[in-house]
Structure 1
Amino acid sequence: MAKREPFHVQIKVRHYELDSLGHLNHAVYHSYGEVARLEAMEKASGGRDGLRAENLAPVLLESHIVFRRELRQGDVVEVTCEMKFGEGKTFHIANNIYKLDGTPSAEITCTAGLMDLERRRLVEDPRGRFERAGIDLKVLTTAD
């Protein structure tokens, strides 16, 4: 059985995203990761708002980035998004940013959780809660 590829989206580097050195501003890398996370969640939900119906929303708790190669105006990149679930209330999200020739540009790792919007607390078993809300985890993770 072939392994699934992580969700990915293409983004073009715009001139207004550059810093004074002429390469992509460090904060914009994080924005690209957020674009991939939001697009992945939109696809995985199939246009339904199952998490809101459950009074839940994903929240980002921590984000870390490693810069590998600079990006410049006009570069087009692939940004991947993959969630990894374990035990407890949190899960991890990996975003990798690649130039179209496959050169790694940045690696972003995030810790996230699902928040109960009424109680303002993280819920147990985020993977199970995603599934009960109708989220297609095959979009969000390559694990079976």
Structure 2
Amino acid sequence: MSELEPFRVRIKVRHYELDSLGHVNHAVYHQYGEIARTELFDKAGGLEGELRQRGMAPVLLESHIVYRRELRAGDVVDVSCRTKFGDGKVFWMDSDIVKTDGTLSAEIRCTLGLMDLNLRKLVAEPRKRFAEAGLDVDLLGGAA
């Protein structure tokens, strides 16, 4: 995994994820993105340790998806995840859902924030807060 090669998780489409048209239900694509985000956070140090002790957790603020090609039962996909930090209170985690034959099925762009769980407000500089809590922000892929 590098800037050229983002974090990926492999997922096999299950029959119960299909809609009445025989392809993956629209909401399941969002679930696949959530799986990739969660797995990346786990690999970077987890969200239940020092970050939770400091009373903070990431929160999804917006999710936008562009569907490119349908997925059907038995398809196997790689779901990527890349994190981008800026100067404010939000950061972005983008995912591509790609079949193993290279076909791009969907693109997901999520806006997130890091919430103070006691104040119920977003905190400034989420990248810095993740690093202070021991998460590997380089592994998350977010440049300062």
The offset of 1:47, in angstroms, is: 8.2
Structure 2, unmatched stretches of 5+, are none
Note the 1:117-132 alignment, pairs <5 A. Answer: 117-132=117-132
Instruction: Decide whether the 8 Å contact of 1:9 with 1:78 is kept in 2.
Output: yes
Structure 1, unmatched stretches of 5+, are none
4+ residue stretches of structure 1 with deviation over 6 A?
A: none
**2:25 aligned partner:** 25
**1:88 aligned partner:** 88
TM-score of the two chains, using structure 1 as the length reference: 0.94
The offset of 1:3, in angstroms, is: 4.0
The offset of 1:138, in angstroms, is: 2.3
Q: Go from structure 1 to structure 2 and tell me whether the alpha carbon gap of 1:4 and 1:132 turns closer, same or farther (over 3 Å shift).
A: farther
Q: Which amino acid aligns with 1:66?
A: V
Instruction: Decide whether the 8 Å contact of 1:5 with 1:142 is kept in 2.
Output: no
Cα distance in 1, alignment partners of residues 128 and 28 from structure 2: 32
Cα distance in 2, alignment partners of residues 47 and 57 from structure 1: 7
Cα distance in 1, alignment partners of residues 53 and 101 from structure 2: 41
C-alpha offsets along residues 15-60 of structure 1, whole Å, 9 cap, x if unaligned?
0000011000000000000000111111101686121021100000
Q: Which amino acid aligns with 2:112?
A: A
Q: Which amino acid aligns with 2:74?
A: G
Instruction: Decide whether the 8 Å contact of 1:3 with 1:142 is kept in 2.
Output: no
Cα distance in 2, alignment partners of residues 41 and 3 from structure 1: 17
Note the 1:64-79 alignment, pairs <5 A. Answer: 64-79=64-79
**1:13 aligned partner:** 13
Q: Which amino acid aligns with 1:13?
A: V
Percent identical among aligned pairs is: 62
CA-based RMSD of the aligned residues comes to 1.6
TM-score of the two chains, using structure 2 as the length reference: 0.94
| Secondary structure of 1:119 counterpart | coil
Q: Go from structure 1 to structure 2 and tell me whether the alpha carbon gap of 1:106 and 1:56 turns closer, same or farther (over 3 Å shift).
A: same
